[in-house]
Amino acid sequence: LMLAACGANFGFRLTLPYSAGIVVGRALLQTTVVCFLGVLFMAFPGVQTALKVLGSLYLAWLSYQIATARPAEAKGADRQLGFGQAALYQFVNPKVWANTTTAVSLFVGGGDGYYARGALLVATFALVSAVANSVWTVFGVQLGRLLRSEASVRACCTQSISSRG
């Protein structure tokens, strides 16, 4: 949704650094987690099962919180995060940490080939993220065009006038 909002407000080209920062930051975080969890899983194999369960429960709880949250008050955006800010934001975003540790626990497994599977996971997430980010940004650009069109302004004003009575 942030990418759609940035696309609507700033256009596709100006949103690219933000989008790329998300992809690169997430890939760096995932690589860090893969390396750390590989060592942890070798030392304590039971931790992998615990992380699967706890990470999945946290993501389900977070989904519920988002689904039942009240809408936030809209604020105008005059600038967006840049590449570096977007990349660093991935490291402080608890949803990304939960998603990453759960994905590594579920899909990478342990034993031989752990790091190769980890690299495949990071590459797959980066590719999917880049495509999804582009889709959301294009959606936002199109939505922004629609909302700024003469017909939508006229419809909004007509609705506003007729609702006053």
Distance CA 53, CA 51 (A): 5
The model's pLDDT over 31-87, given as tens digits with 9 standing for 90+, comes to 998 988 777 877 787 877 787 788 788 878 878 887 887 766 655 556 677 999 999
Q: What is the pTM of this model?
A: 0.73
Q: For residues 3 and 68, which has the higher predicted lDDT (pLDDT)? A: 3
- The closest of 32, 10, 3, 11 to 130, measured between CA atoms, is 3
Distance CA 13, CA 5 (A): 14
The model's pLDDT over 73-131, given as tens digits with 9 standing for 90+, comes to 655 556 677 999 999 999 998 888 888 888 888 888 777 888 999 999 999 999 999 99
- The closest of 68, 76, 88 to 24, measured between CA atoms, is 88
